[in-house]
Structure 1
Amino acid sequence: MLGVAVSTVSRALNGHADINPNTRQAIIEVARQLDYHPSLLAQSLKSSETHTIGVVIPDIERPFFATAVSGIQQVAAGMGYRVIITHSKESYATEVSNVQALVASRVDGLLICHAHETDNFDHVQPQACRGIPVIQFDRVSDEVANSKVILDDWTGAFAVTEHLIQEGCQRIAVLAGFDTLLISKQRVAGYVSALQHYGQPVRKEYQRHINFDQEEAAAALEQWLALPEPPDAIFAINYVNAFDLIIAIKKRGLRIPEDIAVVGFGDEFMASMIEPGLTTVDLHPYRIGQQAARLFLEQVQQKEQFRPRTYMISGNLVVRQSSLKGKGSRFQLSI
């Protein structure tokens, strides 16, 4: 329309100083009239960068993951990156599909927290992701040699179990996820270590592995209550299952914590609102998201010199009424 070269239009729209001011203004005005916007895909093909980060989480409805994404976006936006968010709904097949779609969209990096179903990690290996940086957070796999942000699950589990022991509990059960999950292994290991440290027996009948399902949590409770010596406390490694247990225990007409104490792992707003308030570990999901984004940016900046590293975040033990049997402390502890 203006009779100028494509390169002139490009330089004008990108703010180059070597364009006559009148020509630049004319080009900008025509672009406005035509509602023209540069093609991000075309720009990425030329520069091999999209300034976009792909994020895969298990469930956007869970406050933990939503908060982690908020931390990712805060850091990414500060460095000029956009964020594309997908969620797997705990499905391995959906997780793989999301990763493939993001890689095909030429994201500059991938931040991922794996689904409960995921037990194969070929889709996040370097060859599958075309060499783009991949950062795992929260639920990670050691099968992939990349940077990770993990929780100090062992210490957190030791702390909540220790707290129950100090409150006078002698038969402590653990409701865990599949034993293939790293977080499940670490939290059960911390639980076992605390029992051993305080000279309490480690009883297999007090350990249940489920798919974090409400019905499975209720079924585990029924199996425990049918034992000759039922537990007097339950540690749920997933805070949602701790809520499930509190509801199921109340339906049985039992008192919390007098008959059975309950503790969880993950401090979200419902933990303080449920009755009784849930003793749990604050996992700091916002910090987890921030650190995952920072590790990606470090890798982009350092390029070939970058070496993958694992960053560990410690939580805080938050003591509430669900575990206070009357013999222990009444304050928040740091772990």
Structure 2
Amino acid sequence: MIECTRCGRVEGIKRAGFVRGQQRYFCRDCRYYFVLEKQAPAPRRRQTTIIDIARHLGVSPSTVSKALSGRQDISPRTREEIRRVAAELQYQPNLLAQGLTSSKTFTIGVIIPNIERPFFASVVSGIQQVVSPAGYRVMICQSNESHATEVANVQALVASRVEGMLICHSIETETFDHIARPFANGFPIVHFDRVCEEIATAKVIQDDFGGAFAMVEHLLQQGYRRIAILAGPEKLLISRRRLAGYQAALEKYGLPLEEELIYHGDFRPETARRALEQWENQRPDAVFCIHYGNAIDLLQALHERGIRVPEEMALAGFGDELLTALIEPGLTTIQPYPFQIGQKAARLLLEQIHHPESFVPATHVLKGELIVRGSSRKK
């Protein structure tokens, strides 16, 4: 109830436009125009709604909605005042409600195994660089290499009405029903890096086979002959592809495949030490790690044992970041260009969102670059 500031009556009060951005009132009993002193809004524990703004100004919620959406059938002065109060009350649009109304949230979901890994951080940067200018927001989830968490992330993103999803699977993921169901219902999905071959989504992958082949060939050309490989889980697709590249390089140079020189791990730091223990009796003269992090772990373990790199054992890894160039000796790596992987995956997803009828899913392979450093170069 509005009370006249002169006579104190409330029955004859009506709104009379705005004066300098403030609501003006008129008292029909004493024929007096007045405005109310502004009061700071009380601290809020919940998100401000359109109804809150309407009550604050004494207008209808539909008027507030029209003003905030830029409708021209609201006077410029009223629109400006509503927007001012909305900012004062820290109003944020309800994207889910907007999506229910318009079927558009302009939000995409991204699921990665671990945001702390520089590779995935660079992928996300590449995604952001493409989708932000197109007017899309990014909702990032990480599975922490857990299949159960990955499934929950997919369900949460679909329930949040994101318009599409980019996903790199966890190490644990071996079944893909959580992807197959939404994809079969027309939900846009693009895989990157660790992908699912069972579902016909668009995919962006590294040249795992070619990069591994180039790395092992480099080691062979340096004169190393007993080359071990520190691989990943046997069921992991990228591990199988890099192992195939390793085998093909040995075959090209007429060298036998020695099963005892193949060690499957899970990319954790202790994997490198366990592999080194397996090779203790018949030490290889070079090791190719399909994950550069394990190569760094192995380098540390070799230093602790007094084994010189590369004089007594050469090292090389797949993947690259600043640390690989700073350690001593610098680590020979394959640079996979994760930023470009993120860009390509994002472009494919936007294409799928905007042109679902003509979009044709395909696998896109991005080649990396061999970077030779001191850990493998013979002096």
TM-score calculated relative to the size of structure 2 = 0.82
C-alpha distance in 1, partners of 2:59/2:359? 44
1:297 aligned onto 2:354: no
Contact in 1 for aligned 2:319/2:334 (Cα 8 Å) = yes
Contact in 2 for aligned 1:103/1:129 (Cα 8 Å) = no
C-alpha distance in 2, partners of 1:143/1:185? 16
- Deviation of 1:5 after TM superposition, in Å, equals 5.0
C-alpha distance in 2, partners of 1:204/1:135? 35
Partner residue of 1:88 out of 143, 161, 165: 143
Q: Which has the higher contact order (CA 8 A, sep 6+)?
A: 1
Contact in 2 for aligned 1:123/1:129 (Cα 8 Å) = no
1:316 aligned onto 2:369: yes
Q: Which residue of 2 aligns with 1:306?
A: 359
In structure 2, give the amino acid aligned to 1:153.
Answer: D
Q: List alignment gaps of at least 5 residues for structure 2.
A: 1-54
Q: Which residue of 2 aligns with 1:190?
A: 245
Q: Which residue of 2 aligns with 1:263?
A: 316
Relative distance call for 1:166 and 1:32 in structure 2 (3 A) is: closer
- Deviation of 1:129 after TM superposition, in Å, equals 8.1
C-alpha distance in 2, partners of 1:106/1:259? 56
Q: Which residue of 2 aligns with 1:59?
A: 114
In structure 2, give the amino acid aligned to 1:263.
Answer: A
TM-score calculated relative to the size of structure 1 = 0.92
- Deviation of 1:128 after TM superposition, in Å, equals 7.0
Q: Which residue of 1 aligns with 2:279?
A: 224
C-alpha distance in 1, partners of 2:162/2:363? 22
C-alpha distance in 2, partners of 1:95/1:34? 36
Q: Please, what is the CA RMSD of the aligned residues? A: 1.7
Instruction: Tell me the alpha carbon deviations over residues 313-334 of structure 1, each in whole angstroms, 9 at most, x when there is no partner.
Output: 10000000000123xxxxxxxx
- Deviation of 1:10 after TM superposition, in Å, equals 2.4
Structural mapping, 1:73-84, within 5 Å: 73-84=128-139
Q: Which residue of 2 aligns with 1:68?
A: 123
Misfit runs of 4+, over 6 Å: none
C-alpha distance in 1, partners of 2:184/2:64? 35
C-alpha distance in 1, partners of 2:294/2:72? 61
Relative distance call for 1:194 and 1:33 in structure 2 (3 A) is: closer
Relative distance call for 1:49 and 1:129 in structure 2 (3 A) is: farther
C-alpha distance in 2, partners of 1:58/1:21? 49
Relative distance call for 1:304 and 1:128 in structure 2 (3 A) is: closer
Q: Which residue of 1 aligns with 2:197?
A: 142
Partner residue of 1:281 out of 317, 334, 341: 334
C-alpha distance in 1, partners of 2:87/2:244? 62
Relative distance call for 1:20 and 1:210 in structure 2 (3 A) is: same
Which deviates further from its counterpart, 170-179 or 16-25?
16-25
1:272 aligned onto 2:315: no
Partner residue of 1:203 out of 234, 248, 258: 258
Contact in 2 for aligned 1:103/1:130 (Cα 8 Å) = no
Q: Which residue of 2 aligns with 1:109?
A: 164
Contact in 1 for aligned 2:271/2:294 (Cα 8 Å) = no
- Deviation of 1:20 after TM superposition, in Å, equals 2.7
- Deviation of 1:9 after TM superposition, in Å, equals 3.0
C-alpha distance in 1, partners of 2:90/2:280? 68
Q: Which residue of 1 aligns with 2:38?
A: none
- Deviation of 1:101 after TM superposition, in Å, equals 1.4
In structure 2, give the amino acid aligned to 1:232.
Answer: D
C-alpha distance in 2, partners of 1:53/1:129? 18
Q: Which residue of 1 aligns with 2:43?
A: none
Contact in 2 for aligned 1:122/1:128 (Cα 8 Å) = no
In structure 1, give the amino acid aligned to 2:293.
Answer: V
Identity of aligned residues (%): 56
Contact in 1 for aligned 2:334/2:371 (Cα 8 Å) = yes
Which deviates further from its counterpart, 162-171 or 246-255?
246-255
C-alpha distance in 1, partners of 2:142/2:323? 22
Q: Which residue of 2 aligns with 1:333?
A: none
Matched position secondary structure for 1:303: coil
- Deviation of 1:221 after TM superposition, in Å, equals 1.1
Q: Which residue of 2 aligns with 1:180?
A: 235
Instruction: Tell me the alpha carbon deviations over residues 159-198 of structure 1, each in whole angstroms, 9 at most, x when there is no partner.
Output: 0000000000010111100121111111011111011111
Instruction: Tell me the alpha carbon deviations over residues 92-138 of structure 1, each in whole angstroms, 9 at most, x when there is no partner.
Output: 11111111111111111111111111111111114378532111111
Relative distance call for 1:188 and 1:32 in structure 2 (3 A) is: closer
Higher-Rg structure is 2
